[in-house]
Amino acid sequence: MSDSTNLLFVGLPKSGKTTYLAALWHVLEDQSSATKLKLKQLSGDRTYLNLIVEAWRACAPVPRTTQQTDDTTVALHLEGDGFGEFTLSVPDLGGEAFDQQIEHRKMSAAHAALFRQANGVLLFVHPDVKKGTQISDQDQITASIGGATEAGSGANGHAAVPVPWNVEMLPTQAKLVELLQFLLELVDQRLRVAVVVSAWDLVADVGQTPRQYVAGRMPLLRQFLDANDDIVDHAVFGISAQGGAIPADKSRLLELDSLKRIRVCHDSENDHDITKPLAWLLGGK
């Protein structure tokens, strides 16, 4: 492994990227739990990390990275068994920027540079998306293919009024595939992608592994990843970085050990090690 490793957090708005980063920083700074990766030191200003981790510890909504705030890159000096010591650069990019890439089919030079430097990607998916979790949803197929209508022909004989197509009509999984295609056009190496189903506590009781959940709810994303296994190696993790819904579960969560609030599921394994997806991206198991 090189001394410097660049991982990208990729996902649409409110997909859980910043909450994950806040919980990760809490765990690394605390250093009391068994994790695959440990913190050696942090480079740069801690203001941003302190802001989001204070909200996380208080079980308050974590401030999101948006287009109105600067994309923040965190440089963590880490070590781990089998990994040695290395610097991990993690840009926290606003989900709105990815939305803009899909809508306008272009990205900033700064984002393109980050994509080219990526050694691995955490692709965040939130299970509580408003639409598009199932490609068989007839309303989504109609909207995506031919545009939606405000109303069908009724008894009054008035014709349906077409609604112009816009990017919001794209199913979530189609947007994620678009983002991955952007990325794969810019990297020149086999890429590891860790799909993170955030807020895993919302769906942990469905009786499926994270991989099975994504395969059933986002078949287009699964098919894209499987079809491109010559250039993409992927794994799927279910992560509850906060431990429950905010503010509904706030009182209960505050009574728990903050480290035990975190839940990580990979295949049939369940534990509290939030560094596991990062370790997998770096070549671990």
Residue with tokens 């965190």: 74
| More reliable by pLDDT, 97 or 17 | 17
- Domains of the chain listed by start with CATH number: 4-148+158-281 (3.40.50.300)
Structural tokens at position 58: 């208080």
Per-residue pLDDT averaged across 123-128, rounded? 90
Which is it for strands 232-240 and 269-271: parallel, antiparallel or unpaired?
Answer: unpaired
pLDDT above 50 for 158: yes
Q: pLDDT digit string (tens) for 70-79?
A: 556 778 888 8
3-state SS, residue 121: strand
Whole-Å CA distances, 8 to 12, 46, 122, 180: 13, 19, 6, 12
pLDDT above 80 for 265: yes
Structural tokens at position 245: 């819904």
Q: Cβ atoms within 10 A of the Cβ of 109, count?
A: 7
3-state SS, residue 196: strand
